[in-house]
Amino acid sequence: MPYVIGADFGTLSARFLLVNPKNGDEINTVVMTYPNGVMEETLHGKPLPEDYALEDASDYLLVLRQGIQTLVRDAKIDPSEVIAIGVDFTASTILPVDQKLMPLSQQKKYMDNPHAYVKLWKHHAAQAHATRAASIAKDRHEAFIKRYGDQITSEWMIPKIMEILTEDPDLYNDAYRFIEGGDFIVSHLIGEESRSACQAGYKALWHQKEGYPSKAYFKALDPRLEHVIEEKMGSMVKPVGTMAGRLTDQMAKALHLVPGIPVSTAYIDAHSAVPALGITTPGNLVMILGTSTCHMVLDHEEHLVKGISGVVKDGIIPGLYGYEAGQACVGNALEWFVETMLSKTDHDEALSLGITPYELLERKAIIKAPGASGLVALDWLNGNRSILSDSDLSGMILGLSLRTNPEDIYRALIESTAYGARVIIEEFESQGLKIDRLYATGGISKKSPMFMQIYADVTGRPIHIGQSEQAVALGSAIAAAAIAGSKNGGYDTISDASIAMGKLEDKVYVPVPSHIKTYDKLYRIYRNLHDHFGVSHPEWMHTLKNIKTNDMKGQSDE
Amino acid sequence: MPYVIGADFGTLSARFLLVNPKNGDEINTVVMTYPNGVMEETLHGKPLPEDYALEDASDYLLVLRQGIQTLVRDAKIDPSEVIAIGVDFTASTILPVDQKLMPLSQQKKYMDNPHAYVKLWKHHAAQAHATRAASIAKDRHEAFIKRYGDQITSEWMIPKIMEILTEDPDLYNDAYRFIEGGDFIVSHLIGEESRSACQAGYKALWHQKEGYPSKAYFKALDPRLEHVIEEKMGSMVKPVGTMAGRLTDQMAKALHLVPGIPVSTAYIDAHSAVPALGITTPGNLVMILGTSTCHMVLDHEEHLVKGISGVVKDGIIPGLYGYEAGQACVGNALEWFVETMLSKTDHDEALSLGITPYELLERKAIIKAPGASGLVALDWLNGNRSILSDSDLSGMILGLSLRTNPEDIYRALIESTAYGARVIIEEFESQGLKIDRLYATGGISKKSPMFMQIYADVTGRPIHIGQSEQAVALGSAIAAAAIAGSKNGGYDTISDASIAMGKLEDKVYVPVPSHIKTYDKLYRIYRNLHDHFGVSHPEWMHTLKNIKTNDMKGQSDE
């Protein structure tokens, strides 16, 4: 009986999933924590600057080996039954490697050098470089920047390379390549450098036809960067979910698998959720609901959508344009409310009922009709990513009265994120992308029926929920099955694999007509507020943030 | 040694204050609770309609007798040393009386009739009549309505009379007079009907030159009301703080005082605070800070100020125009936050420190610089009284982030009320009223130094605090001293009495220049929001309230 493996490298640990390609059944799961974890304060006892977040790539290789060994052994299957491997990884999580693709951090001379280590996606120390890279792109009217909603974030690859070049030019010169964590793993599995369109497209400004930005652009960033692509990255990029190569003898031995099985190009650890929900065609929006929300949709054409995080051909499903948009504040708004604002009354009540405060607030809020709170909020407590691309915007709540309750505010926060999602949907539609159905995955989609019903009512669309608790790892396993070939027990296309292996819950959230009507009215107010504070008068919120920042700096003068 | 008495009739109880007119020293205080309290749910076991708030006028006469007897007896002074009495009362708190000025409720036939009882200021069941009275006034372009910010509230006298006429025309016909509680007490003390310009002006549309509204207006309200003034109220109105008459033999006996001492016309129980703070001249704004705030200022001229609660010649200090403006939500915003939203953390911390949550939130908020919270709020959680006169507006908080703390919101609520006060000040100034200094009294002015400092910083003006805990009762005592005459140990004018007896704390809140600068910037944002949501686009908040009201009605459909 054939099996495929999905290897999902997250922030603190990696998950390895053994899947039956026939039906997507998850046979076994192994979770391995990175021994060195995330290094944010110190590296080997030496303090790190602010906004640092490093990892040790040796950890990845270690958990890869131990994880897959354990996965197969504990499942008591014959290692020869594993027919393919797929990989996903956080991104942009990059590291400098030598000619053998080994991390520079393993070299004695670089052992204590932070720049030799993995710069995790949430390493934000390259902010100044990101700002500069975006502003130079806009000044030069670079067409590529429109594909990224006019922004380059500090999480991406180029700013992180600029940071290393600026702070340690010797190490920059010594580095044979800078590579994404996902590509690093895949390259090690197949014994040669491999890069995926998913990482390159969404995190390194690569385009399927145009390639990376021009030498002139890189030269404008820094003359030493003019040839950064040939010198440090290579120009070979393969579509996501296609075969990167075959497992080497050496790695097969290390993993206790058989050599020669195909390995898929790497996914980013959100994008692989799309095939895991059975989605490989246009018209469907997949929302990965967590701290923030990642929205993904496919299309046959390239459109320029406002405030998008990226549009990448071959980036989610081979052959299609994959669109990614984001909301910066979803689960974290609710977390903020419960962690910071939870009332004494609700705390005690939840305790006595033996439920979480989230559950209590939902119980109290769910019985109210849409609009009964009289509140409309703007979901910008962490700025606005899509469609405004403005991190200096802030949240607001309108309609407060002396009878407003905590659960009213809690519900208004959820509703505001649903309105935010509707703005994204409307922007997609106004650019010619059809969106008929919504799909959701991530913790919230399982835990909060009220949340999901509100999204259905606000968007006026049915919402399907992914069944797997490990959707991203399942997506990698689907990519593996897609390259294994039907004659080996896999499939010949990712569509076939996704249809067979992707899984949805039976429960569908269907919008309630009377709710749609009320939420249409409320959304019109939200949209007015959105355009007023986000488009016509962003200076109000900007001034507030300015005063806050300046006065916090000068607080000692007061 | 001469003494004066201030009798202050509040909502639940009356306070009697024995004062040394020489220096304002408070010699003795007696507080008497009304035996029947406020009747909101039932009258003699019979349920009352919604929004009712009745009292039994017999209670007033009872506590008047017992209170003054006790006051003088316990102070161990000779009753003949009491040289005058002043009275203040909640308003508009009205009752129907017979020809002997006795409450109709004392007649057997009316014992169980709610309309025969006192309709307390917070009896709001006449709302439909109030709305109609205002709308007819506006349709008829009645000049008087401009003196009341274009509104007539359900708390006032005329709507309450309309309510009685509509619901019980027989009782209306039987009533010899409708009279304010304050005038009722004064009339009983002096043995003849007396009406004060304070009550008549602020609560019954009376004007010093023009008198009450025209017969034509009253006829438009209801043909039976055409002659309501002559028939039910009389046209005689005396300036506040002047002599109404002298204590009758009968009442002197009942109170254990000597007959013939002068009795002052009645104050409303906020307006008497003005002389109690030593204020009898223009240029000074007195704020009575409580659940809501009452702003009072004097001037030599009549100006039409937007959203004002009233402008009345002789209404606060004889000879001057007294202006009253109001904020509907001040202390109650903080109370809402602490009662409804108080976090578990803050609750526990306050408990362990043995302080109130208010004190804890102030401790945490006071150490932050102005603007450090990044928040600006609109203080409309209970609608906006001045200057917008729009009870369908609602509150909002702008600038929320994932790092916003409860104390940030608490402070932002306080700041928002300070901005609201500044809007009122600016409106007064734009109409030609000078405001140089601010004065405050009421619980908050004593309890919250942060609150007062914020007001000084936001308005850019020094703030003086009234010293007496019983400012309104002291104001009545000052009015008493002012009519006693200097040859009897009192004074010849209210100015002389107020200067000698009014009392301020030594502590003055002086604005800090750097704070003024920051708050000027924040106030500009507040003012933009104020004008945007209150003037240009009130329909946004109105729609929210509409949806809320309708959907709450139709909740069972959901």
Indicate the helix (H) or strand (E) that contains A132.
Answer: helix A127-139
Identify the helix (H) or strand (E) that includes residue A33: strand A26-33
Alpha helices by DSSP H, B140-278: 157-167, 169-174, 181-190, 197-203, 215-221, 228, 249-255, 273-276
**Chain A nearest C-alpha distance from B286 (Å):** 25
Give the per-residue pLDDT at A307: 86
ipTM: 0.91
Cα separation, A71 vs A50, in Å, equals 38
Interface list for A 412-471 with B (CB within 8 A): none
pLDDT tens digits, residue range B66-124?
999 999 999 999 999 999 999 999 999 999 999 999 999 999 999 999 999 999 999 99
Segment-wise mean pLDDT, segments of 10 residues, chain A, 558 residues: 97 97 97 96 94 97 98 97 98 97 97 98 93 97 94 95 98 98 98 97 96 97 98 94 97 98 97 96 96 95 91 95 95 96 96 98 96 96 91 95 96 98 96 94 94 98 96 97 97 96 96 97 97 96 90 46
With CA atoms as reference, the chain A residue closest to B338 would be A343
> What pLDDT shows up at residue B531?
97
- Average of per-residue pLDDT across B383-404: 93
Nearest CA to A73 out of A259, A258, A255 is that of: A255
Closest Cα of chain A to B37: distance in Å? Answer: 25
Q: Do A400 and B394 touch (CB under 8 A)?
A: yes
Q: Which residues in chain B (344-373) have CB-CB distances under 8 A to chain A?
A: 344, 346-348, 368-373
Quickly list H helices, B337-400: 344-353, 357-366
Distance CA A57, CA A16 (A): 17
Determine the average pLDDT of the residues in B216-220.
98
Question: Confidence band (pLDDT; 50, 70, 90) for B550?
Answer: confident
Q: Which residue has the tokens 């809320």?
A: B548
Task: Give the closest of A340, A343, A551 to B370, CB-based.
Answer: A551
Task: Give, for B289, the enclosing helix (H) or strand (E).
Answer: strand B283-289
pLDDT at A554: 46
Q: Is the pLDDT of residue B556 over 90?
A: no
Token pair for residue A235?
A: 């120009």
> A350 contacts in B (CB within 8 Å)?
none
What average pLDDT does range B277-302 have in this prediction? 96
d(CA B277, CA B293): 16
Amino acid at B479: A
Residue B324 neighbours by CB distance under 10 Å = 27
The nearest CA of chain B is from the CA of A451 a distance in Å of 17
How many helices and strands in chain A, by DSSP H and E? 20, 22
Report cis status (omega within 30 of 0) of the bond before B92: yes
Would you say B267 and B87 are in contact if contact means Cβ atoms under 8 Å apart? yes
> In angstroms, rounded to a whole number, what is the distance separating the alpha carbons of residues B275 and B240?
12
Backbone φ and ψ of A108, nearest 5°: -55, -45
Residue B80: C-alpha distances to residues A487, B4, B261, B476 (Å) = 117, 11, 9, 19
Nearby residues of A360 by Cβ (< 8 Å), 6 or more positions away: A346, A349, A350, A353
Least Cα distance to A202 among A129, A148, A159, A242 occurs for: A148
Residues from chain A that touch B347, judged by Cβ atoms under 8 A, are 344
Strand partners, A84: A4
Query: Rounded mean pLDDT of B10-18?
Result: 96
* Host H or E run for residue A296: strand A293-299
> Measured between CB atoms, which of A371, A381, A394 is closest to B547?
A371
For residue B490 the two structure tokens come to 């009192």
Give the span between the Cα atoms of B372 and B359, in whole angstroms: 20
- Using an 8 Å CB-CB cutoff, list chain B residues near A343: 340-344
**Pairing, β A46-47 against β B283-289:** unpaired
Query: Could you say which residues from 468 to 487 on chain A have a Cβ atom under 8 Å away from some Cβ of chain B?
Result: none
Provide the mean pLDDT of chain B: 95
The answer to whether the CB atoms of B399 and A394 lie below 8 A apart is yes
pLDDT tens for B335-386 read 999 999 999 999 999 999 999 999 999 999 999 999 999 999 999 999 998 9
- Written as one string, the DSSP assignment of A439-461 is EEESHHHHH-HHHHHHHHHHHTS
Q: How far apart are CA A315 and CA A325, in angstroms?
A: 13
Question: For residue A204, how many other CB atoms are within 10 A of its CB?
Answer: 23
> What is the residue-wise DSSP string for A371-420?
TTT--EEE--BTBB-TTT-BTT--EEEEEE-TT--HHHHHHHHHHHHHHH
CA dihedral B546, B552, B556, B557 (to 10 degrees): 10
Count CB neighbours of A236 within 10 A.
Answer: 10
Mapped onto helix, strand or coil, the DSSP state of residue B337 is helix
Residue B553 burial (10 A CB sphere; 0-12, 13-18, 19+): exposed
From chain A residues 519-558, the ones with a CB under 8 A of any chain B CB are 521-522, 525, 528-529, 532-533, 537, 540-541, 543-545, 547-548, 551-552, 554-555, 557-558
Quick check: A522 and B404 CB within 8 A? no
- Residues 316-345 on B with a CB inside 8 Å of A are 329, 332-333, 336, 340-344
The encoded tokens of residue B22 equal 């020489």
- Pair B178, B94: CB distance under 8 Å: yes
**What residue of A is the nearest CA neighbor of B540?**
A525
Nearest-angstrom CA–CA distance, B16 and B26: 10
Neighbours of A229 (CB within 10 A): 18
How do beta strands B321-327 and B310-313 pair? antiparallel
pLDDT at B86: 98
**Which two three-digit tokens encode residue B124?**
């709001």
CA distances for B282 relative to A544, B436, B460, B477, angstroms: 36, 9, 18, 22
B184, B90 Cβ separation under 8 angstroms:
no
pLDDT digits (tens, 9 = 90+) for B324-335: 999 999 999 999
What is the three-class DSSP state of B250? helix
Q: Do A521 and B547 touch (CB under 8 A)?
A: yes
Confidence of residue B389 (pLDDT cuts 50, 70, 90): confident
Q: What is the pLDDT of residues B151-189, one digit of tens each?
A: 999 999 999 999 999 999 999 999 999 999 999 999 999
Residue B279: strand, helix, or coil: coil
Q: Between chains, do A369 and B394 touch, taking CB under 8 Å as contact?
A: no
pLDDT, position B327: 95
Mean pLDDT over B452-476 rounds to 97
Instruction: Confirm if B533 and B541 have CB atoms less than 8 A apart.
Output: yes
C-alpha span between B528 and A544 (Å, rounded): 13
**Does A340 sit within 8 Å of B544, measured CB to CB?**
no
Structure confidence at residue B558 (pLDDT): 36
CA-CA distance, A199 to A94, in Å (whole number)? 10
Question: Residue type for B469, please?
Answer: E
Secondary element (H or E) of residue A170: helix A169-174
Which pTM does this prediction carry? 0.92
What is the spatial distance between Cα A264 and Cα A555, in angstroms, rounded to a whole number? Answer: 54
Which pLDDT score is estimated for A497? Answer: 97
Q: How far is B421 from chain A (nearest CA, A)?
A: 19
Residues 6+ apart with CB under 8 A from B309: B148, B149, B202, B294, B324, B325, B326, B385, B386
CA A369 to chain centre: 33
pLDDT value at position B391? Answer: 86
Residue contact A400–B381, C-beta within 8 A: yes
Q: Cβ of A292 under 8 Å from any chain B Cβ?
A: no
- Indicate the residue of B371, B401, B518 with minimum beta-carbon distance to A395: B401
pLDDT reading at B551 higher than 80 = no
Enumerate the residues of chain A whose CB falls inside 8 A of the CB of residue B406: 340-341
Give me the amino acid identity at B538: P
The minimal CB distance from A518 to the residues B332, B406, B547 is found for B547
Tell if the CB–CB gap between A381 and B394 is shorter than 8 Å.
no
- Domains defined along chain A, listed by start: 327-467+507-557 (3.30.420.40)
Chain B interface, mutation test: which of A398, A407, A450, A524, most B Cβ atoms within 10 Å? A398
Question: How many CA atoms lie within 13 Å of B176's alpha carbon, on the beta-carbon side?
Answer: 11
CB-CB contact of A459 with A421 (8 Å)? yes
